[in-house]
Amino acid sequence: MNFLAHIYLSGDNDFIKIGNFMADGIRGNDYLNFPEQVKKGIILHRHIDTFTDAHPTYRISKHRLHEKYGHYAGVIMDILYDHFLAKNWAVYSDVPLEDYAAKFYQSLEDNYDILTEKTKGMMPYMMERNWLVSYATIAGIEMILFQMDYRTKHRAHMQEAITELQEFYVKFEEEFTLFFEELRTFADQKLAIL
């Protein structure tokens, strides 16, 4: 799952959201250097990634991309699944996506001192282009994929995955919906025991 799903699956605690959001850039036991609730978010992120990577429905979706995109199929799939979360946001939250995103961006600014350097570097771009809201449109996803591809020096041609998104749109959305219900239950259970 990508940024929006990780934040959403963190519940209402801003520190858990921040930890879950930053977790990809935190290696090994480095998470121990963060405040307690941020640590919970980092641990939750790791559980979510493990669950996602092993889930048969997610693997079906990812397999469609594997031949063309290889190692990057999972990265692309995480972004595409965030599209379906953003597009169907009203099903999952009573708070409008624009308000939810603005509140999260504000919590990043309010807690700037605990953010990783990588997160601090990414924040201006994320907020300026409103990544979390842009996931809801195909044009927004295309922009995100282009930016991700830029970071790989265009080796993966990730922005071309818009073709597969459009070709298999209905199947991807059905798979996301089934998978995300199970993931929500899993994340809630993990959150309750962390």
Quote the pLDDT of residue 113.
Answer: 96
The letter for the amino acid at 151 is R
pLDDT band at 108 (very low <50, low <70, confident <90, very high): very high
Give per-residue pLDDT as tens, 123-174: 999 999 999 999 999 999 999 998 888 777 767 789 899 999 999 999 999 9
CA dist 187 → 5, 100, 128, 155, 179 (Å): 11, 19, 29, 33, 12
- Residues near 123 by Cβ (< 8 Å), separated by ≥ 6? 105, 108, 109, 115
Within the chain, strands assigned E span none
Rounded to an integer, what distance in angstroms lies between the CA atom of residue 176 and that of residue 181? Answer: 9
The predicted model scores a pTM of 0.94
Instruction: Tally Cβ neighbours within 10 Å of residue 25.
Output: 15
Give per-residue pLDDT as tens, 57-102: 999 999 999 999 998 999 999 999 999 999 999 999 999 999 999 9
